Amino acid sequence: MSQPVQSSPVPADPRRPGASQLVPGGRWTGLIVGGIVALAVGVSLAACSSGTASTAPTTAPATITFTAAATPVATDPPAFSGPLQSLVIPKPPGAVYAPDKRKGDKDGVLTKQDVASEYPGDAATQVSNILTQDEFQRGVFLAWTDTGTLVYVQIYQFRYDREAASWNATMQSSAQAQGDATSTAVFDEIPSGRWFVTKTSDGRGAAHAFYSKGPFAVEIDTFKTGAADLDGTKKMAVDQYKLLP
């Protein structure tokens, strides 16, 4: 997939704080960070509460019973190892890639450090730790402009399906908790999917889609002047879902 080679050290990302003076999305990201950090704390507390003190047995067992060997458990299928760019929906004819408006390298490759750098202050470290715990493997982040609409497509690949599902659930819960969505609903076509419509601080309409499929967690965002492009965002989300293995 051929993409623009220029990049910017400070992406003009409408969802992220600190990207530039034009960025309107700080509150959205801050609340997502809060949800992610809260999840991490909850996991840690659950792990602590489940621990029990161990004591050495005071007497030897009367008998020793031998059991048949356990049936081997089927191993996980091989993880997708091809380029993640090959899984991304193609941009429409006439649309122009915009690598200066997103994180990642010129080809869209997104590392754990890139993801964490989208969050401010100490939250970046928290997010990095959570991604490590969830066995984040790699990601892709592509952006393009299409007749006045800015489109973001992000795909994160985790080691296991459950970890992708956990990240997706956290992102959805955090987005719902902020209460800024003018409308939201689940996808009929995507079992784990939910969409949101919001407004940026500069008045642009924004639509967001989150879901997971297998070891992949997906986020699609669109921004345009006036009303949000919900129909276009939902179509891209469904098309992207169908493309994933």
Mind listing the pLDDT tens digit for each residue in 18-33? Answer: 333 223 333 345 445 5
Pick the range with the lowest mean pLDDT from 25-34, 118-127, 179-188, 228-237: 25-34
Range of the domain at 221: 26-40+87-243
Residue 78: inside a domain: no
Can you list the positions of beta strands (E) in the chain? 96-97, 109-110, 136-146, 149-158, 183-186, 194-199, 205-213, 216-224
Report how many domains make up the chain.
1
Q: Which two tokens stand for residue 155?
A: 């795909």
**Is the model's pLDDT at 15 over the cut of 80?**
no
- Cα–Cα distance, 138 to 115 (Å, whole number): 10
Residue 17: inside a domain: no
The domain that holds 183 is classified in CATH as 3.40.1000
Residue 115: inside a domain: yes
Beta bridge partners of 112: none
Among residues 222, 239, 78, 211, which one has the least CA distance to residue 152?
A: 222
Residue 109: inside a domain: yes
Residue 150: inside a domain: yes
Q: How much is the pLDDT for 92?
A: 95
Mind listing the pLDDT tens digit for each residue in 219-232? Answer: 999 999 999 999 99
Residue 47: inside a domain: no
Residue 188: inside a domain: yes
pTM over 0.85: no
